[in-house]
Amino acid sequence: MCWLPWNQIVVCKGCFSKEEPHRNVNSNIITRLLKVFMDKIMCGAPVDLSFRSLTRLTGSDLHHGFSKYAWTENPHSSVRPLKKNSESKYLSCSLRLSNNSIIDLCDLHQTVSHFLAEPSSLAWLDLSFNKLSHIDKVLCELHGLRVLYLHGNNISTLSEVDRLGVLPHLHSVTLHGNPIETNKTYRNRVISALPQLKTMDFSAVTQQERVLAKLWHQSNSRCRRSKKSLH
């Protein structure tokens, strides 16, 4: 079977001629069908680099002699085999880097580009159970991201969650098992910062939670304004 890059797939307008009513397909339906088709091609199995004792994403500090980094690894095999393009890059939109010892994401873009045929199509990223202490700004540049797992790290600044608000398609995030989870406003703050979420910490975000988060945000904003006026 021949796999084409997504940007080389063309829809023939003549296939949906107005002269033939039974072929007059709404453009929105065509878009959805193409999306499903592309998801079938690009999503595939995740590029799985979990449980590899990785400390860095690239070999930028290899001279220390002890760092193990992602680019030297081959992904785990799975029931669904990973497919490659002509450049030996994987036809996938999912990357699993969980259960390692990664401390920062400064080389995340290079790593994604190294493994994925279409880096901009990255939609699912698993960084759980590492040693990340911050929500790195590099995550905010992954505009196609839909699912992000960050549970089981060392993130301690709750306000850093706000950074993820620029990701228009992010609908599922995990942050439990981080120090920020102990903050009593934790869930309200995350849902308020990311109102488009459908699930948080593997639990569905309810309409009631959305309302409570909005009320919490309004109340918190008033308190901040009051404190500023006192100064």
pLDDT tens digits for 66-123? 456 676 778 988 777 889 999 999 999 999 999 999 999 989 999 999 999 999 999 9
Residue type at 167 in one-letter notation: L
| Cα–Cα nearest to 85, from 10, 7, 9, 4 | 4
What one-character DSSP code corresponds to residue 144? T
**What's the mean pLDDT when you consider all of the chain?**
81
pLDDT reading at 38 higher than 70? no
Tell me the pTM: 0.77
| Cα–Cα nearest to 128, from 156, 97, 155 | 97
With 0-12 / 13-18 / 19 or more C-beta atoms within 10 angstroms meaning exposed / middle / buried, residue 204 is exposed
Q: 39-43, 59-63, 155-159, 223-227 — which one is most confidently predicted on average? A: 155-159
Four-residue CA torsion sign, 147, 120, 55, 157: negative
